[in-house]
Chain A
Amino acid sequence: MVNNNLLLPIWVPVVFAFGVFVFNGKKWLREIFAVLGTLIFLFITWNLFSIRAMDVYYRVPWAGFGMSFDLRLYSFSGFILLWLGIFTLIVTLFSTVKLVNHPRANLYYTYIFLTACFGSGAVLSNNFVLMVFFWEGLLLTLYGFICLGGENSYRTAVKSLIIVGLCDFSMILGIGIIWFLTGTFTMSKISLVPSGPAAAAFFLMMAGALGKAGAVPFHTWIPDAADDAPVTFMALIPASIDKLIGIYLLVRLCLDFFVLRLNDPFSITLMVIGGLTILITGFMAFIQDDFKRILSYSTVSQVGYMILGIGTFLPVGITGGLFLMLNHSIYESGLFLSAGSIEHKTGTTRLNKLGGLGKRMPVTAVCFIIFGLSISGIWPFNGFISKEMIIHSSINTGWTIFALSAYIGAILTVAYMLKAGHSIFFGPEPSGTKQVKESESLLLIPMIILAFLCILFGLDSKMPIKFSIAPILKSHFPLVNLNFYSHALSVFTPAAGITILCIIIAIAMYFLGWKKSGGKASVSSESLRYALIFKTLYDMAERKFFDIYEQGIVFLSALSEAVSIVFDRGMDYIYETAFVNTGKKITSLLKSAHNGKYANYLAWLIGGLFIVAWILILKF
């Protein structure tokens, strides 16, 4: 079915972006305008979500050569689009208070609307070129958003641009190979067996998806952005939209574009990346001393679970991955918003400068606890069922080592959330926070909505799975009984039993550390930080030894220096010095022949005559 309304989520945000960019009225009017825009955007996405089952198209010629402006709304794109609309509204609501006095708030809202436009386009595209167009467009808003932060935020902005740009460029190459093999850019027509060049295409496109989702090793800009960029940006982009879009592409790669099998090399690769992501960033999150940095590492760590689930190529794993993507976006953006609420009132998110806020900011504290329990995978909150699905699925592949990484990740998650929660909301109050009061209701409402969703999707997990996720998988696993409605995941399964054990271990580990640190929650991770091999590894990580960007820049600088000196300056030396000196030598030689002495000229003349005579003799 052809429907022109598919264009609405693309151009309506552009109109609002332009409107808010040129807006020159009162602040409150601008905030209303921004909220109105996001409400309209949500209304559009909701309407499109409601018709997703009809498989709607919009197709017009574009740049030619198979590059058509081809949009497709179906169960998957409709699902992502709806949540794009919801998160845009929630974060905008929060921003109306948090960023009202920001000197470049107009630009901030412009970027929000442009992100909505590019995000919608990327999700709806049914042509790879169009998808890259919107996908890479998100790079611009990413750069712009981060630049709105502190004095030196532009360094982080470039870091993010180069890391995500690298992933995007590899995705472009992957698309090129797919086009070479299939002769089409139309996404719905592509289904490849990944062997030979197609396998390379899979890995290249996978890098694009993982880069957007922020998995290891493409994650290093996220903690830096937590320091520099506005916290609402963190809630909107790295915590939710990037996850939605990145995981969307990853799932499409695994389900649609490539025909993959259980435990093939692609599956193992994804599971390895997922497992490593969970562990590396989980350990990093635990030792951070800033709430936003903990959250930034935790958002990366949670991506690891999604990748692990999807990488199993089992229906339960993919469902778990997608459900975690949704749940994670909810609780992680909620966590960032609670960090925003704390920052708004105290001016800091450093753990050692906070404490006892539970009494002063009770709503924020309750919301935080709900989000914390959700991210820790504790029943009956939404993180529980999705994480358990992933763990079950990874056990079912036969590779229990990946399930082990997920369990260790669960220990770390509980530990760092305990550390953060304990430092901020409990314990002694520092002198600077004694006058703090609860945030304004407009800041609390978005958090309460998200907390409500955490409980709702925890208690009734079948509802989002039935309406949003099951239809996506139905066509791919027609013979498999997905059986989501009576899924045997409960606290009484052995796998869930191990999870409970992990939670107990985590609590014990945390309190041991807390006791060792003399009852200071903010430094409770010190005992792990300085333990044996961990000290060396943590030291290296803090020196950015494992940072792909820092090492990449060293490589780029060295390469640039080398090619510049050897080839560019080398070539120029030939022109500037070798040519000129040779010319000078020849001229000086000729000059010396013209010394004004008749005898000399006579000698030249005679010599010349001899040569002429010799030539004549030779010729005749």
Chain B
Amino acid sequence: MNNVNFFTLLTIFVPIIGSFTVPVISFFSKRLSTYWACTIAFFTALSPFFLIPYVISGVQFVFGKHLYGGINWTLSVDALSVFVSIVSSLISAFIVLYSLHYIKETDNQTEYYFMVLLFIGSMMGLVYSANLIFLYVFWEIAAICSWRLIGFYRVREFVIKADKAFLMTFLGAVLMLIGFLQIYHTTHTFDITKMKGTGIPISAFLLILAGMLSKSATFPLHSWLPDAGVAPSTVTALLHAAVLVKIGVYVAARLFCDTFVLPHISYPLIAIIAVFSSLIAAGAAAVDYDMKRILAYSTISQIGYIFIGFAVMNPLGFAGATFYILAHGFSKAGLFLCAGIIEHNTHTKDIRKLGGLIKTMPLTAVAFLMCAFATIGLPPFSGFFAKFMVIMGAVKAGETGLAALALFIALLTMFYLFRMFHAIFLGNPNHEANLPVVVKERTPLMVSTVIAFSFFALLTGVFVRYPMKIVHSATYGMLHINTITKTKFTGVAER
């Protein structure tokens, strides 16, 4: 087994196997199991970093195992998969670290850590899988994990919201599976690496797109995401920043940009849906009063940019969208965890009941502001580069109107995020809201985690050159410019 195989399998199996060890350890010590889960999460985050030297030059490694029944478990390791797995696992690890204090007084902690690790594992599995069936399997594992985690507090209304999230994403997944089967009918394989350049009919495209839209919470299948705000803030951060909604965009990049040749109308269609979704969500964010719903709408709005970047099918747009995954991940995780601290302290999510918190929670306020700047796309934060490249990509594709609309949405983002920041942190405290008499910063661990995210957002912007190196390789790999593929298979039937 060479190093690439080793680190890839480590990245996938450490969280999956690790998740099953959490309940076992919790029999002996609940506290130990939480630290164990955190260790596993950080180990998972560390593993894909070792893959960078192998893929940075644009090499794609394809390996796997032939299984019975003609199904192969194929794994593909390239710059895009490594980049997404690093971003996803790193953000998840910090969220798990934050969870140590955030949910330490709640019930069902073992289940929480089990589900979170399995969630991360399913994301890692999905990112590296190059087989549509395995992709679907990991996709659904993620759906089940998110379902349990959204309804984590077990309140009836919350469980209904969790059911809604599950049913909507499941609907999309089933449609996507039908699309996969339709493609299988012509290709006779589920192996993505063998399908490169395959033209697919519009019906299959629409079916697969439905899956992506539902998972990445894009109009018209978006409304489950704001409702999922009933989950603990750590879970919403995971859903929005690290794992769930990124699945859809990642698979869109993998299948629509790298693998299949889509009907001509498809790319403009994705871009139009994306910008429309982005506008609607920004509008909804500007009128809502629940801070987690506002942030959820913000995610929907930002995901639109990622879809636009991939849909324009030029290097700058693609690079922007890929970098957006990182930029949005850090900033949104920071925002949700800040919201978590506020909710924990004040027991409310209604921004009308809040105010003046900057006086008592200055660090959280500054972290929130920095993450807000990053989400808007102001320099020197990473969000600037991501948004700029996506917009430039749209202009390059001749879609100037789309780019103008995207910039208008950025202005709307500024409007609703500052509306939120002012309502929560500035002005005078709302004395009629019966908030706790003294609202303080939460634990040093929680506050340092949000500060870490705000600094990640800043540093990845100031030192943009370094993450952009891997984004470059990913872009050229996906758009088939100067790529080398190395394939090695083991298993029952050698090819």
* A→B interface (CB under 8 Å): 61-65, 129, 132-134, 136-137, 139-140, 154-155, 158, 161-162, 165-166, 169-170, 172-173, 176-177, 179-180, 197, 200, 553, 556-557, 559-564, 567-569, 571-572, 575-576
Contacts and interface: CB of A to CB of B under 8 A. Distances in A.
Interface centre among A61, A63, A559 (most CB of B within 10 A): A63
Contact of A63 (B286, B287, B378, B465): B465
A154 B424 CA distance: 13
Contacts of A556: 286, 411-412, 415
12 contacts: A62-B465, A63-B468, A65-B319, A65-B389, A197-B400, A560-B286, A561-B283, A563-B284, A564-B287, A567-B219, A568-B222, A568-B284
B410 A169 contact: yes
B404 interface: yes
Nearest to B396: A180
B391 A176 contact: yes
Given A64-B468, A564-B280, A571-B219, A133 B379 contact: yes
A173 B392 CA distance: 8
Lowest 8 A-B CB distances belong to which pairs?
Answer: A176-B395, A563-B283, A560-B286, A560-B283, A572-B223, A564-B284, A169-B407, A568-B284
B260 interface: no
Interface size class of B (residues with CB under 8 A): 35 or more
Contacts of B427: 154
B199 interface: no
B287 A561 contact: yes
Given A64-B472, A161-B414, A179 B287 contact: no
A62 B283 contact: no
B168 interface: yes
Contacts of B422: 154-155, 158
Given A65-B319, A136-B379, A557 B411 contact: no
B385 interface: yes
Contact of B464 (A62, A557, A560): A62
B388 interface: yes
A199 to B, nearest CB: 13
A75 B219 CA distance: 52
B254 interface: no
B457 interface: no
Contacts, number: 132
Contacts of B396: 176, 179-180
A283 B305 CA distance: 44
A173 B400 contact: yes
B325 to A, nearest CB: 16
B468 A129 contact: no
Contacts of A179: 392, 395-396
A132 B465 contact: no
A569 B280 CA distance: 10
Contact of A139 (B286, B316, B378, B400): B378
B412 to A, nearest CB: 6
B392 A568 contact: no
Given A133-B379, A154-B426, A575-B164, 10 more contacts: A63-B468, A64-B319, A155-B422, A161-B418, A162-B414, A173-B391, A176-B395, A179-B396, A560-B282, A562-B283
B351 interface: no
Contacts of B284: 560, 563-564, 568-569
Contacts of A575: 164, 168, 223
Contacts of B394: 176
Contacts of B223: 568, 571-572, 575-576
Contacts of B164: 575-576
B281 interface: yes
B220 interface: yes
B418 A563 contact: no
Contacts of A180: 395-396, 398, 400
A306 B284 CA distance: 42
A572 B395 CA distance: 33
B48 interface: no
Interface centre among A65, A162, A571, A572 (most CB of B within 10 A): A65
B464 A177 contact: no
Contact of A173 (B280, B385, B404, B414): B404
A173 B283 contact: no
Nearest to A155: B422
Interface in B229-246: none
Contacts of B373: 140
B219 to A, nearest CB: 7
B64 interface: no
Contacts of A557: 286-287
B429 interface: no
